[in-house]
Each structure stands twice: as structure tokens, then as C-alpha cells.
Amino acid sequence: MDAQAWYLRTSKLALALAIIRSKPADKSSREYTEHLARVVSRQESKWRSKVEALEAEVLLLRQKLLLSRICAEPFKNGECLKPQFSTQESSTSEKTSTMLEDSGCDLSNEQPTEPLETPQPSQENCPLTPFPPLPIKDRHGAMPQNPLSSHVQFLQRLLELKSWTESGNLKTDLSQLENDYSVVSDSVLQLLDGLITFYTNPKIPFSRFWKEAVGTLARLFSDCYLGNHIRQKCSKKLEEFEKTLLQVILTNNHIDRFQVQHYISQNLVTLGSCSLLRKSLVSLLLTEVNNFADDLETISQVQASYDVMRYENIFFLLWVLEQLLQKETEEGNTSTLRHDDPEIQKFLQKHDKTIFHLSDAFPLFSFYFWRLGILFNSVETETVENNSLP
């Protein structure tokens, strides 16, 4: 017996003897052991909650620190960071409509009751970019109503600050902040975890926040530097989120499910608007469509019954695929979707055969299948034409 096994066995024996010797007279050893286990479990749960709250607060402080460093970078060379307001509608919070004249990096939790006057730009006095502070905790120690809102706001401000500092002659060398950018990946992972939890059992009516959160992710991955930076660390969690959305659509059997299906389908299209995410998303969608087509062919051959709700649900995935392929054709992207992808190859190889076998029994599905084939060929034609240009 090695030392570790001996130590574990001795510890268990000592614990058992301690329980037997300290148990009350009106309880058996088993009852007293179960009571102690419940007490320890409650204490562990309390400590776990405290640790999670502290970790969340540390992450928020790291977010503020990174924003402050990005804001301070242009001033190291004596440059002035002028405010340029984004035309895109932002923010998850009602309060963000009132922009405060600060760097966006103030660590205080108090907001001024009146907006500050914007100083006139000059060589000696440069206005700073306006941002309200990130919501850490209020004075009573409570977290914001939706803890994910801080991550969404942080990512939105990061994108805007990056855009502002790269405009004109202002340049922030983000490579110098490489070691600090783990906070971006951590924020994305936290946001994806929250989105997966929500969409596993989505609630109607949907808050506008969830749509903004997905849109922020798409914008983040669309940014060349940020997207490549977080892709490796977050790719598995992102794929889990995409698969969660697909399964919610496919497995939902509620009578009033169509509002949920439509909303989630729109979120998938939003994710697919990012060319970096489109390839993997199309592959996941085609996996489900190809498998469903195989099932329908088997059903058609043996004249068996089929799940009507699953048949109805698959059309939402077909619609999402159609939207993504149309976007690919419009953008003329020659590298996102290539026919060497196994799922695309499988789809194209069985395309004509599937339509022939299913056109009588499942005409609507066959029609959609045919339309997708046309779009894939259109993407391929666009790719060949672009590659043949001098």
C-alpha cells in the first residue's frame, strides 16, 4: 500500500471514530453522519457563492483597468483622444443614453447628476471619450439585475474605444496590451455561459438585452485583432452555444413555439453575419439538415410515420442556412465557405438524389433543399470568378 492510499484510509477511519464518539445519544451514527453532511454542504454552498461574487467583482475591475489603459495609451505620446460618437445604437442599459464626459474608466460608482460641459478642443485641453461607469455593485452590495450586462457593456465599449483610437492619426498598439487581454476572453466565456443557461430554457417575452448580447459577440468576432485573439480560447464554448440554439429549435415541441423559433433563428443569422463564425455555423446547420434528409429517405422507403413537429422545426434551420448563403453571395467572400467541407460535400453529392426520392412525399422540404443547392452553386461560382481575376 502506497503512502497516499494509507493516508486516505487512515483519515476515513479517524473521521468515522470522531463521528461515533461525538454523536448525540438520541441519534444513530448514520443519522448524525447525514446531518453533518448537510451542514457541510450548506457551508460549502455559502462559500462557493462568496467566491463567485468575488471573482465577478475582480473581473469587472480588470475590465475597467483594461479600458483605462487603452484610454491612456494615446496620451503617452502627447496625443488627444477626441470623442467620436458611434452611429450604431448601443447599450443594454437605459442609463447609457446619457453619456458622461469622462474616460469611461472611472472606478467610482457615483454618477454626476448633471452632465459636464464639453470643453472646446485645443492643444492644451483635450476632451476625453464619454462613457458611463461599468455597474459593479451598488451601496447595498447587490449585483446588477442582469449580471451579464456588465460584460456586454464592457465588450461594447472596448469595440468603440478601439474604433475611436484607430481613427485618424490616433493609434493604440494593442499588441502592447497582449498580456492584459485575457480579460476579454474571460468576459466572453462568462457571457457565453450565461447565454447558454438562458437559451436552454428561454422565457417569453424576450428582453432586448439577449439580442444585443448576441450582436455584440458577432461584432467582437468580426474585429480582426480581437476576433483572432479570443477565438482559440472561446471556440469550444461558442460552438456549445451554437449547438444549444440549434437543439432548442429542433426539440421544441410546444404549441406556441414559433415565436421562440423565430427569435432564435434571427440570433443565428446575427452570429452568421460574422464571416469568421459563418463557416462553422453553416457546417453545424448542414449536419442537422443532412441527418434529417437521411431520416426522411428512410421513412419514405418503409412508409413509416414521422415526427410532424420535428419536420416543422427543420424549416427554421433551412431558413437560417438560406440567409447565410445569401449573405455569403452578397459579400463575394472567397474563403469562408469552400466545397471541401465534409458536410457541404455530403449535401451536394446527395442533393439531386434526395430531391428525387422526397419530392412526392415531402415536396416543401424538397423545394427548400433545391433552393439551398442553387445558393451553394452560386457561392461556388462567385468563388471561381473571384479567383480567376488577375
pLDDT tens sequence across 112-168? 333 334 344 443 444 444 445 565 444 334 444 577 888 999 888 888 877 776 665
Domain final position from 270, 286, 302: 270
Q: Are residues 64 and 180 in the same domain?
A: yes
Q: Are residues 179 and 320 in the same domain?
A: no
Residue 337 counted as domain residue? yes
Q: Are residues 236 and 384 in the same domain?
A: no
Q: Are residues 209 and 249 in the same domain?
A: yes
Q: Which of 157, 210, 220 is nearest to 188 (CA)?
A: 220
Residue 349 counted as domain residue? yes
Residues of the chain with pLDDT under 50: 80-131, 136-144, 169-170, 384, 387-390
Q: Are residues 323 and 342 in the same domain?
A: yes
Q: Are residues 290 and 380 in the same domain?
A: yes
Cell numbers at 83, concatenated? 470623442
Q: What is the pLDDT of residue 249?
A: 94
Q: What is the pLDDT of residue 135?
A: 53
pTM of the model: 0.70
Number of neighbouring beta carbons within 10 Å of residue 349 = 10
Q: What is the pLDDT of residue 22?
A: 82
> Looking at the 3D structure of the chain, how many domains does it have?
2
Q: Are residues 313 and 377 in the same domain?
A: yes
Note down the domain range covering 359.
274-390
CB 112 within 8 A of CB 130: no
Q: Are residues 255 and 294 in the same domain?
A: no
Q: Which of 320, 312, 303 is nearest to 361 (CA)?
A: 303
Q: Are residues 198 and 334 in the same domain?
A: no
Long-range Cβ contact pairs of 228-234 (< 8 A, separation 24 or more): 229/181, 229/184, 229/185, 230/184, 230/185, 230/188, 231/276, 233/185, 233/189, 234/185, 234/188, 234/189, 234/192
Q: What is the pLDDT of residue 333?
A: 60
Q: Are residues 213 and 253 in the same domain?
A: yes
Most distant CA pair in the chain: distance in Å?
A: 92
Q: What is the pLDDT of residue 282?
A: 92
Domain final position from 220, 238, 270: 270
Q: What is the pLDDT of residue 376?
A: 85
State the burial class of residue 365 (Cβ atoms within 10 Å of its Cβ: 0-12, 13-18, 19+).
Answer: buried
Domain final position from 246, 270, 294: 270
Q: What is the pLDDT of residue 124?
A: 42
Q: Which residues of 54-93 are buried (b: 16+ CB within 10 A; e: fewer)?
A: eebeebbebbbebbeebbebbeeeebebeeeeeeeebbbb
Q: What is the pLDDT of residue 363?
A: 92
Q: What is the pLDDT of residue 194?
A: 92
Cell numbers at 240, concatenated? 456549445
Q: Are residues 247 and 159 in the same domain?
A: yes
Q: What is the pLDDT of residue 91?
A: 42
CB 121 within 8 A of CB 161: no
Q: What is the pLDDT of residue 94?
A: 40
Q: How far is CA 197 from CA 45, 57, 210, 255, 261, in A?
A: 20, 20, 12, 22, 17
Residue 305 counted as domain residue? yes
Q: What is the pLDDT of residue 59?
A: 86
Please state, in angstroms and rounded to a whole number, the distance separating the CA atoms of residues 352 and 370: 8
Q: What is the pLDDT of residue 56?
A: 83
Residue with cell 437543439: 247
Q: Which residues of 206-229 are buried (b: 16+ CB within 10 A; e: fewer)?
A: eeebbebbbbbbbbbbebeebbeb
N-to-C CA span, the chain:
74
Please state, in angstroms and rounded to a whole number, the distance separating the CA atoms of residues 223 and 220: 5
Please state, in angstroms and rounded to a whole number, the distance separating the CA atoms of residues 269 and 307: 26
